[in-house]
Copies of this chain bind each other. A is one copy, B any other.
């Protein structure tokens, strides 16, 4: 008695799934009322609410978010872009972000920008096309065109893991320069003089070791041994980097590695060559990866609270999406040097 005759005229499209209309009909209310019962239960009478809920159960209805997103221009989808998932660095952030968003009914879309700029732009377009309620960037958008498109899209953006001077929009991170300086001072204070750096060839670790170098120079140390390894960093490159360092005639008594994995490589290679850590060589990592505390010797490293970054990013996005203007758009989560046995 409903749309059966209409169906004869036109072939059925759509998914064939239960719709809100079906629920509404069963509950004997208007579709709009059913919608309200699900979204703002407080604005609906208890009896109607009960009937609708029953109908939902009876039909096995699951809302179609795509339709809702189209009508309301709120997708409750948040995109996260990482350079790559390979390094473990961003994992805690992504994990916390996913969880925090889920708590508010938001879902995470993941994109890997890789190291090719053209892919990054394509990814950005794919993301914007989905009209997410927010975009979380771990890593930077390189192309000016990409940055421009992001701004034009009017989607809230959170940049993370950095404290760039000109944020696109919102920002949660820490100062890589401050890390570099702090580690240099830490090592200097312990009497180390022949400093070295093993750094991934990415922008941020470059900035850390530049600051490290500058701080060392201020203390009268001219020479800094630097080995650059390709990102993402691995245990293997840590091993071979130490080998390279040891070949240098000047010698080395402290290494600052741009990741804990690299540091583990250094530890491994040092042991293989009978080099005493920290006696002959102090080793400092970066990230305070879960395994750092339990290494032999326990790894001195720079602790970054990746989870906090993810949670703050989620807060930023959700606040914006719910229409709350965020007062402070930049959050510095800081860092700390965890002083363990290796240095």
A residues apposed to B, CB below 8 Å: 13-15, 17, 60, 62-67, 69-70, 73, 75, 77, 84-86, 88, 91, 94-95, 98-99, 102, 105, 107-112, 114, 123, 125-131, 149, 152-154, 234-236, 239, 261, 264-265, 268, 271-272, 290-291, 293-296
Central interface residue in A129, A152, A234, A236, by most chain B CB within 10 Å? A129
Given A70-B70, A73-B15, A98-B85, residue A130 in contact with residue B107 (CB < 8 A): yes
Can you list 16 A-B pairs, Cβ within 8 angstroms, ordered by A?
A: A17-B153, A62-B128, A62-B153, A64-B129, A70-B70, A85-B95, A88-B88, A98-B112, A107-B111, A107-B130, A108-B109, A234-B290, A234-B294, A235-B291, A236-B293, A271-B271
Interface residue from B108, B125, B126, B271 paired with A110 (Cβ < 8 Å)? B108
- Give Cα A294 to B154, complex, Å: 47
A13: chain B residues within 8 A (beta carbon): 73
Central interface residue in A88, A130, A261, by most chain B CB within 10 Å? A130
- Give Cα A130 to B70, complex, Å: 12
Interface residue from B66, B88, B108, B295 paired with A70 (Cβ < 8 Å)? B66
Interface residue from B60, B91, B130, B265 paired with A86 (Cβ < 8 Å)? B91
Interface residue from B66, B126, B127 paired with A75 (Cβ < 8 Å)? B66
A125: chain B residues within 8 A (beta carbon): 62
Q: Shortest beta-carbon distance, A278 to chain B, in Å?
A: 16
A75: chain B residues within 8 A (beta carbon): 66
Q: Shortest beta-carbon distance, A147 to chain B, in Å?
A: 14
Given A73-B15, A84-B95, residue A239 in contact with residue B294 (CB < 8 A): yes
Are B234's CB and A291's CB within 8 A?
A: yes
The 7 nearest A-B residue pairs measured at CB:
A235-B291, A236-B294, A85-B95, A66-B69, A65-B129, A62-B128, A235-B294
Q: Shortest beta-carbon distance, A100 to chain B, in Å?
A: 11
CB-CB nearest in chain B for A85:
B95
Interface residue from B64, B88, B109, B291 paired with A107 (Cβ < 8 Å)? B109
Given A15-B131, A149-B60, A235-B290, residue A107 in contact with residue B126 (CB < 8 A): yes
- Give Cα A62 to B109, complex, Å: 18
Q: Shortest beta-carbon distance, A223 to chain B, in Å?
A: 29
Are B73's CB and A102's CB within 8 A?
A: no
- Give Cα A334 to B264, complex, Å: 30
CB-CB nearest in chain B for A90:
B85
- Give Cα A94 to B110, complex, Å: 10
Are B265's CB and A294's CB within 8 A?
A: yes
Given A129-B63, A152-B60, residue A73 in contact with residue B291 (CB < 8 A): no
Are A109's CB and B112's CB within 8 A?
A: no
A85: chain B residues within 8 A (beta carbon): 91, 94-95, 98
A63: chain B residues within 8 A (beta carbon): 129
Q: Shortest beta-carbon distance, A58 to chain B, in Å?
A: 13
A60: chain B residues within 8 A (beta carbon): 149, 152
Q: Shortest beta-carbon distance, A321 to chain B, in Å?
A: 14
- Give Cα A154 to B18, complex, Å: 12
Given A84-B95, A112-B98, A123-B102, residue A131 in contact with residue B290 (CB < 8 A): no
- Give Cα A102 to B75, complex, Å: 20
A128: chain B residues within 8 A (beta carbon): 62
